[in-house]
Structure 1
Amino acid sequence: VANKGLKDLKKQVEGAAQDAVTAVGAAAQQVVDQATEAGQKAMDQVAKSTQETIHKSANQASESFSGFGKKLGLLK
């Protein structure tokens, strides 16, 4: 009878340990998912900022060229 009680206790402890491992694994995956999402948002922001900078630079270059062309009488 005592042996059965020990077996039951062992099963309960093993079950609790497995539940704890599963919970830790799920929590770790959630941290990884959040870090990945944050990284993607950061990369999206860098891409957007870079695109805006390129667009502004192109506009400035176009305006400079236009002003230079007007000074030389090449553009109206």
Structure 2
Amino acid sequence: MAGKGLQDLKQHVQGAAQEAVTAAGASAQQVVDQATEAGQKAMDQVAKSTQETIDKTANQASETFSGFGKKLGFKC
């Protein structure tokens, strides 16, 4: 009888340990997912900011060359 009780206790402890491992794994995966998402958002923001800077620079260059062309008498 005592062997049966110990076997049940062992199974209960193993089940609890497995649940803890599963929960820890799920938590770790959630942290990885959140970090990945945050990294992607940061990269998206960098890309957006870079594109805006490129657009502004191109517009300024276009306006500058247009201004030079007008000063020199070209139609722009």
TM > 0.5: yes
Deviating beyond 3 angstroms after TM superposition, the runs of 4 or more aligned structure 1 residues are none
Tell me by how many angstroms 1:18 deviates.
0.1
The percentage of counterpart residues that share the same residue type is: 80
TM-score, normalised to structure 2, is: 0.97
DSSP-derived class of the 2:75 partner: coil
Measured in 2, the distance between the counterparts of 1:18 and 1:74 equals 79
C-alpha RMSD of the superposition: 0.8
Which residue number in structure 2 is paired with residue 68 of structure 1?
68
DSSP-derived class of the 1:75 partner: coil
Which residue number in structure 1 is paired with residue 26 of structure 2?
26
TM-score, normalised to structure 1, is: 0.97
Which residue number in structure 1 is paired with residue 35 of structure 2?
35
